[in-house]
């Protein structure tokens, strides 16, 4: 059942992955790995509160994997817990230092929290891995809008609305999906 849950998750059949994860938990009990699979499926189904419960339970049971930390980062980000999200993406990055997705998410959240030096550090690390990535260009554009022309304006960048006010960028509001 665990393998089927993982298979369906990998091939973007999130409802099926969730069903198999729930069956596995029902039959075999709560195991850290299957709780992480369940949490990831719930994340992609935009059921963030439920996902957070499963993912945190997986962590409490000792699952220590970048897959878990990245999912905790995404979940907390969607729930508006940006500092927690940043911490989880950093944990994932410590284990997988060359994973572009972790570096990108650390950069994006750092910009939103006003940690510009940290954001630039991680953008540069990500650039070393993937020099021509459009996502990084969007993040660098965030720095461009910090100038006088961008202050007090709203910008839609990277799927979220960022407000620029006196050289501060605020992250999008919590998702209400």
SS3 71: helix
Q: Which two tokens stand for residue 153?
A: 């304006």
Interval 22-38: pLDDT, tens:
998 998 989 998 999 99
Interval 63-110: pLDDT, tens:
999 999 999 999 999 999 999 999 999 999 999 999 999 999 999 899
Question: How high is the pLDDT of residue 172?
Answer: 44
Burial class (CB in 10 A: 0-12, 13-18, 19+), 4: middle
Question: 165: pLDDT confidence band, cut at 50, 70 and 90?
Answer: very low
Q: Which two tokens stand for residue 101?
A: 């997705």
Q: Phi first, then psi: what are they for 156, rounded to 5°? A: -100, 110
- Pick from 34, 15, 16: nearest CA to 25: 34
Question: How high is the pLDDT of residue 132?
Answer: 58
Q: Which residue has 């298979």 as its token pair?
A: 7
């Amino acid at each position: 059942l665990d393998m089927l849950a993982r298979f369906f998750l990998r091939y973007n059949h999130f409802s099926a992955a969730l069903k198999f994860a729930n069956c596995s938990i029902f039959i075999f009990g709560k195991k850290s790995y299957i709780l992480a699979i369940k949490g990831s499926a719930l994340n992609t189904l935009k059921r963030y509160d439920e996902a957070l419960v499963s993912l945190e339970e997986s962590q409490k049971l000792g699952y220590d994997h970048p897959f878990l930390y990245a999912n905790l980062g995404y979940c907390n980000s969607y729930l508006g817990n940006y500092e927690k999200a940043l911490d989880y993406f950093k944990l994932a990055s410590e284990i997988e230092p060359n994973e572009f997705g972790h570096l990108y998410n650390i950069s994006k959240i750092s910009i939103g929290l006003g940690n510009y030096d940290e954001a630039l550090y991680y953008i540069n690390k990500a650039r070393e891995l993937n020099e021509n990535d459009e996502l990084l260009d969007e993040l660098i554009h965030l720095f461009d809008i910090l100038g006088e022309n961008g202050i007090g304006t709203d910008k839609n960048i990277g799927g979220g609305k960022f407000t620029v006010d006196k050289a501060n960028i605020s992250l999008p509001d919590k998702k209400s999906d």
